[in-house]
Amino acid sequence: MTLISVLIALFVFPGGLFLIVAGLFYQWFNRKLLAVLQNRIGPRWFQPFADVIKLLAKEEVIPDGVNPYLFIGLPIMALAGALTAAVYVPIAGIAPSYGFSGDLIVVLYLLSLLTLCIGLAGANSLDRFSLVGATRTLTQLFSYEAPFLLAMLGPALVAGSWQVGKITAYAQNHWLILTQPLGFVVALVGLMGKLEMPPFDAPEAHTEIVAGALTEYSGRGLAIFDLGRAVELIIGLTLVSSFYLGGVANLPLFVVKTLLLLFVMVGLQSLLTRLRIDQTIGLWWRYGTLLVLVQWFFMVFA
Amino acid sequence: MENKITSESFTIPMGPQHPALKEPGHFQFTVDGEIVTRAYVRLGYAHRGIEKAAESRNWVQDLYLLERVCGICSHIHSFAYCLAVEQLAHVEAPPRAQAIRVLVAELERIHSHFLWMGVSAHEAGFDTLFMYSWRDRETVMDILEGLTGNRVNYSANILGGVKFDVDDVQAASIRKGLDFLEERTNHYLQVLGKDAMFLQRTRGIGVMTRAQAEVLGAVGPTARASNVMRDMRVTAPYSAYRQFSIRMMLDSRGDLEARFQVRVQELLESIRLIRQILDNLPQGELSVHLPRRIPAGEAAVRLEAPRGEVFYYIKSNGTDKPERLKVRTPTICNLNSVIRLAVGHQLADVPMILAGIDPCFSCNDRMVTLADERDGSERLMTWSELRQHGIDFYKQAAK
């Protein structure tokens, strides 16, 4: 592979620029749909782009008492992690640019890097809202991570490979949502937890702790975290829909399936009340993990 | 912002500027992990000196000033003031005027309870209910605007009566709006009582027993949700509530769910009462004449505002201005319960508990509490004492 194609894969498509633009578009879709379901008008299509551009242009205030290297470095690391994950995932229906056996684990942990960075960013600050937000972010990470991982390993088990590309190829001929419905539910709800969408938005519950871990962030740092979330949204949707919804063989299928998945998630967001952090943990360890284990039980013995 | 981390306690400030508070107030919650171990409130950020200002305006001007004590329950303040002044002047508003006053007061209660329902749903992170209840609230706002010409400060009262009449066309449009509101209220009653996710946030949270409610002096729906019979419209009926009686809504559970149920059932009761008033509106004049100078004397009235009992005391010395005017609003009575109930709960429940009493800070800021951080003592200062203290302090500093 030549240097130019490597650079394109990393910075233009499927990584980098394309992902950022697509992620922001999906974010708009999320916001607009939620607004319509809540009887509001909602933002225009370019609002997420305008938000990011405005934030990038603004001054970044580094508060007293934080480690400035960490403060600036954490958002970059979060975005870099999310973008790196993209090269192992079949974005836009095109087979992953790279792959090795076991890259599924790497992708999942690169996605967790974002949450970890947000938690560390909160803990790095002296602000009390940030500290509580960071505690909640990391607590939530430990609650949904295991069930979500188990739910993503279900398809890997039947495909006989832990490589995202191979699982996707297998899933194109098998609608795993039919054979592993419990796994799909846990993966879907786990994705909502990963993205800190309502009802799992306790880490940034603004009526309690303002903006949670990112309270002290402004300007560039906040914009980069926001981009990281947008990228994670699209990668998460791609993973779940390619594993469970019969694969994403081409661009139209990719768009339809991921937006359909997002539609379901928005519906859940508008219906449910925010869970307290103790209720979130209870939900995941009492029901989420149990559901996946039941699924595994059937896969092994049936 | 100063940072207070000691080995055992971690204090989270809320306010004066905080997204959970739509008005300025300051709360400090000491937490152990997520559990609140100590709560502290400080008020005074919305002090406007209204009581003092009332002493320098004449009786008619005060009507407009006092309507602005609160931005949500504006009518009840001018209602209370009018009743007290009419008491001093030994006149009574005509029956039709009294009925219209109560009509507007109940419409205001509907608008206030819908607003509160939206705010508390938002505190719980249930934004869909927030958006829908505020959309429906527009109906009652439109009714009030059609009736009085204003959406917030209705300016319905004048001393000795009311300013406007209710004709058949208006009555028809009110009935139409009420039909819609009744349907929606019944829907919300179901949602609040059945939605499992929402019940997780309200059932058994912030329980106040009847004994606690009586000791803490809770008023209004907050007290009624703890089975305390405290509703001025029933226990001491005033104005047209003597002819049009209202049922008191009680609940014995005392938790947040009970506070939701009591308020939503009050909505239905208010709708019923408004229909009854519209059907039986007494005929007659809208106002009687009141002298420019009010005879010397003292008057005290107690009314049921949407949030609870509001108390007015007026002293007249026979001139065209009041000598002393004292207002006590329901929030100051209920804040005690927040401070007491928050302890032992999760931090995440605190905004809900606070919203559960439907706090209104601009109403109650008339006295200043000073807290000494060093020895933990607190003392009360009146506005004039504080003003003098400020002058003395800077005089000394200049030396």
Residue B7 in this model has a pLDDT that exceeds 70: no
B278 domain-assigned:
yes
How far, in Å, CA of B182 to CA of B160, rounded? 33
**pLDDT digits 0-9 by tens, B48-95:** 888 888 889 989 899 998 888 888 888 999 999 999 999 999 998 899
Q: What ipTM was predicted for this assembly?
A: 0.74
- Percentage with pLDDT > 90 across chain A: 1
Among candidates B12, B197, B198 on the partner chain, residue whose Cβ is nearest the Cβ of A128: B12
A3 domain-assigned:
no
Determine the straight-line distance between the first and last CA of chain B, rounded to whole angstroms. 30
A2 domain-assigned:
no
B309 domain-assigned:
yes
- Percentage with pLDDT > 90 across chain B: 15
Q: Where are the alpha helices (DSSP H) in A59-159?
A: 68-86, 103-124, 128-159
Interface test with A, best of B3, B36, B354 (most A CBs within 10 A): B3
B75 domain-assigned:
yes
Separation in Å, CA of A263 to nearest CA in chain B: 16
B236 domain-assigned:
yes
Residue A120 in this model has a pLDDT that exceeds 80: yes
**pLDDT digits 0-9 by tens, B278-303:** 998 888 888 888 888 888 899 999 99
CB neighbour burial string for A148-179, b if at least 16 within 10 angstroms, e if fewer: bbbbbbbbbeebebbbbbbbbbbbeebebbeb
How far, in Å, CA of B301 to CA of A180, rounded? 68
How far, in Å, CA of B343 to CA of B139, rounded? 38
Bridge partners, residue B224, by sequence: none
Averaged confidence pLDDT in chain B:
82
Separation in Å, CA of B16 to nearest CA in chain A: 13
Average pLDDT over residues A117-141: 84
Q: What is the pLDDT of residue B372?
A: 41
B207 domain-assigned:
yes
State how beta strands B10-14 and B378-381 pair. Answer: unpaired
Number of domains forming the structure of chain A: 1
**Residue A288 to residues A78, A294, A300: CA-CA distances in angstroms?**
26, 10, 19
B5 domain-assigned:
no
Strands of B10-14's sheet in order across: B10-14, B26-32, B35-42
* Whether B118 contacts B355, CB under 8 Å: no
Secondary structure (3-state) at B309 = strand
- Measured between CA atoms, the residue of chain A closest to residue B12 is A128
CB-based contact B13 A205, cutoff 8 Å: no
CB-based contact A278 B350, cutoff 8 Å: no
Specify the DSSP element, H or E, that contains B193.
helix B168-194
A40 contacts in B (CB within 8 Å)? 131
The DSSP call for residue B71 is S
**pLDDT digits 0-9 by tens, B151-207:** 888 888 888 889 888 888 889 999 999 999 999 999 998 888 888 778 888 888 888
**pLDDT digits 0-9 by tens, A249-295:** 778 888 888 888 899 988 888 888 788 777 888 888 888 888 888 88
A5 domain-assigned:
no
B396 domain-assigned:
no
Average pLDDT over residues A88-97: 73
The DSSP call for residue B203 is T
Bridge partners, residue B38, by sequence: B30
Bridge partners, residue B328, by sequence: B311
Number of domains forming the structure of chain B: 1
Range of the domain at A64: 12-301
The DSSP call for residue B8 is S
B6 domain-assigned:
no
Ranges A127-141, A178-192, B53-67, most confident: B53-67
B198 contacts in A (CB within 8 Å)? 273
Residue B43 in this model has a pLDDT that exceeds 50: yes
A266 domain-assigned:
yes
Q: What is the pLDDT of residue A109?
A: 86
Q: What is the pLDDT of residue B394?
A: 62
CB-based contact B346 A275, cutoff 8 Å: no
Range of the domain at B325: 51-330
**3-state secondary structure string, B104-155?**
HHHHHHHHHHHHHHHHHHHHCCCHHHHHHHHHHHHHHHHHHHHHHCCCCCCC
Closest by Cα among B310, B281, B150 to B219: B310
In sequence order, which residues have a C-beta less than 8 Å from that of residue A42 and are 6 or more positions away? A31, A32, A33, A34, A35, A36
CATH number of B212's domain: 1.10.645.10
Residue B315: φ, ψ to 5°: -120, 125
The reported pTM is 0.80
- Percentage with pLDDT > 70 across chain B: 86
Among candidates A131, A273, A278 on the partner chain, residue whose Cβ is nearest the Cβ of B198: A273
